[in-house]
Amino acid sequence: MRKSFITGIALVLVLAAGWTAFSGQDSQYLERLDNWAFESPRRPGAVFSHDDHIMDLDDDCSICHHVYEDGKLVPGESSEDYYCSDCHGLKPAPDNSMPLEAAYHKLCRDCHFDEGQGPVLCGECHIKE
Amino acid sequence: MNSFIAFIMGPMVWISAIIFLGGLLFKFIGIIQSVRSKEPYVFSYLTVKHSLRSIGAWLIPFFPKSTRLSPVYYGISYVFHIFLFVIPLFLASHIVLFNEAFQISWPALNDGVADWLSLAVIAALVFFAIRRQMVPEVKYLTSGSDYLLIFLVALPFITGYLAYHQWFAYRWMVVAHVLSGELMLIMIPFSRFSHMLTAPLTRAYMGSEFGNVRHARDW
């Protein structure tokens, strides 16, 4: 009884490890985001598939490339011609309530949580180089 | 799976923190009530001055005489206890999460340094486990639950170390890391981890009895 229990646990662990190893970041369009805007990044740039997101979001660029005016989202306006860092400064300030790092984390992770899919843990995007 | 992760990294953190702090508060009230009913005369000589004097003396590494008699054990114990708090509180990844939740931030440890310090904490726990086997008077007082508690403290550090290096089963390693950290917090009021509350209370009692009754030092 006890032996079969231990074998069962071991089997579950092996299957879990295998499942994780072969699931997740499997897009053929995966690229690594350039993190030049950060002064001294602690983590490698996130891996990301722009093409997959364009398909998943039905070509609505403004979902990620949003425009905020006076703290309010401007519906339908998009900002693909700007860098994220044009609006989101590195350090928090009265006129910069969403610093660059938090902006990335919130935009990506919150959507992945809301949609119930996509990476949400640190090392799922910041994969070691 | 994402909703499970959202739960253990969201509401479950609050639940753990409330059980940890609330449990310690209840334990504190229980201890005070128990002293009040069994040995109320303790309060006749308990003073803030002698309590703080004893707590302070025992917070300074190798200041109390008995700590100098077992320098290796106390040395490892000091290092272990300091880094048990310093690593999780000053880890860059933890501060990022704090910052996103509460918009507060503070300086972080270098990741490479934290990585090595985590190994030191795990090594200290291995030392504590071996000591329980090797030192006869400690072995006599040791039961299985002591090893379980040592393992419980080691688990968040082991899983955190493995997750940071992303060697295998990353997602499961982080899940295990978060859950084991929460389990450790929840266990504090209900296990010998509660010495984070009772140790200062013991010092207050001893410091007051030695200082205020016998007019002696308790270090």
Tell me the per-residue pLDDT of A94-123, one tens digit each, with 9 for 90 and over: 888 899 999 999 999 999 999 999 999 999
- Report the distance separating Cα A71 and Cα A98, nearest Å: 10
**ipTM score of the complex?**
0.85
Which chain B residue has the Cα nearest residue A119? B2
Domains held by chain B: number:
2
Domain-terminating residue out of B142, B174, B197: B142
Same-domain status, B110 and B148: no
Q: Please check whether residue B184 is in contact with residue B149, taking contact to mean a CB–CB distance below 8 angstroms.
A: no
Domain-terminating residue out of B142, B162, B195: B142
pLDDT(A25) > 90: no
Q: B5 and A120 in contact by Cβ < 8 A?
A: yes
Q: How buried is residue B174: exposed, middle or buried, by Cβ count under 10 Å (0-12/13-18/19+)?
A: buried
Q: Give Cβ neighbours of residue A52 (< 8 Å, ≥ 6 apart).
A: A27, A29
Same-domain status, B163 and B153: yes
**Is some CB atom of chain B closer than 8 A to the CB atom of A24?**
yes
Pairing of strands A68-69, A31-32: unpaired
Mean pLDDT on A10-38: 68
Determine which of B1, B2, B168 to mutate to test the interface with A (most A C-beta atoms within 10 Å): B2
Same-domain status, B119 and B108: yes
Same-domain status, B81 and B123: yes
Q: Among A21, A117, A123, select the one facing B2 at the smallest CB separation.
A: A117
- The whole-model pTM stands at 0.87
Pairing of strands A68-69, A72-73: antiparallel
Rounded to the nearest angstrom, the gap between the alpha carbon of residue B96 and the centroid of all alpha carbons in its chain is 23
pLDDT band at A1 (very low <50, low <70, confident <90, very high): low
pLDDT at A94: 87
Mean pLDDT on B198-207: 96
Same-domain status, B115 and B182: no
Which chain A residue has the Cα nearest residue B165? A128
pLDDT at B198: 97
- The CATH superfamily label for domain A28-125 reads Cytochrome C3 (3.90.10.10)
Look at residue B160 and tell me if it is in a domain.
yes
Measure the CA angle with vertex B167, ends B165 and B172; round to 5°. Answer: 95
Q: Among B99, B111, B170, select the one facing A124 at the smallest CB separation.
A: B170
- Report the distance separating Cα A63 and Cα A76, nearest Å: 9
Look at residue B43 and tell me if it is in a domain.
no
Tell me how crowded residue B103 is: count the other CB atoms within 10 A of its CB. Answer: 11
Tell me the per-residue pLDDT of B25-38, one tens digit each, with 9 for 90 and over: 999 999 999 999 99
Mean pLDDT on B172-192: 97
Tell me the per-residue pLDDT of B137-178, one tens digit each, with 9 for 90 and over: 999 999 999 999 999 999 999 999 999 999 999 999 999 999
**Domain regions of chain A by residue span:** 28-125
Look at residue B108 and tell me if it is in a domain.
yes
Give the structural domain span for B206.
Answer: 144-210
Mean pLDDT on A46-55: 92
